Amino acid sequence: MPSHTSKAVTAIYPGSFDPVTSGHLDLIGRAATIFDRLIVAVARNLEKDPLFEVKERIEMLEAVTFEWKNVEIDSFDGLLVDFARSNGGTVILRGIRAVSDYEYELQMAMMNRKIEPQIETVFMLPGEAYSYISSRLVKELARLGGPVKGLVPPLVEERLRAKVG
């Protein structure tokens, strides 16, 4: 096959998404223009005490990614590389906000490569306006009555208010 022949690439964007933030959404938008198919994969059974059920996280993700026709939402149990393999994914996408994210991400990428060398991890940067946002801090802010406007999509803001407000 000539080296310039392209083939459709499916990327898997895994995470807790408890809940999806504006930073996640920014990254999804960027990745949707690069990859042919992007599966946002919500990890089940990670956190002992999540704020949102997996079903709710999926609903919110589906609503806020509606405009991208090549973006799908799913969930997974077990090993990420197994999920990627069984869905035709050849790329694992992760966002890096700051240098502090890198060490954990590097370890995870190397471990995934060790168990499945055919799958590449690709790191992307969210817009700088989102570089300090995390689901954990958004939840903390919401629980303490702080403003989360702009940190999460409006729908998630509403759901957070209904949950902890």
Q: State the catalytic residues.
A: 24, 48, 97, 135
| 43 lines the binding site for ligand PNS (CB under 6 A) | yes
Q: Considering only 5-13, 66-74, 108-116, 149-157, which stretch makes contact with ligand PNS by CB under 6 A?
A: 108-116
| 106 lines the binding site for ligand PNS (CB under 6 A) | no
Q: Considering only 13-21, 30-38, 52-60, 140-148, which stretch makes contact with ligand PNS by CB under 6 A?
A: 13-21
| 15 lines the binding site for ligand PNS (CB under 6 A) | yes
Q: Considering only 14-22, 48-56, 117-125, 152-160, which stretch makes contact with ligand PNS by CB under 6 A?
A: 14-22
Are 38 and 9 within 8 A, CB to CB?
no
Residues sharing a CB contact under 8 Å with residue 163, sequence separation 6 or more, in sequence order: 51, 52, 142
Task: Give me the DSSP letters along 37-103.
Answer: EEEEEEESS--SS-SS-HHHHHHHHHHHTTT-TTEEEEEE-S-HHHHHHHTTEEEEEEE--SHHHHH
Whole-Å CA distances, 66 to 32, 58, 61: 12, 12, 8
**Amino acid sitting at position 72:** E
| 75 lines the binding site for ligand PNS (CB under 6 A) | no
Q: Smallest gap, in angstroms, from Cβ of residue 41 to ligand PNS? A: 8
Positions touching ligand PNS (CB under 6 A) are: 14-16, 43, 46, 79-80, 108, 111-112
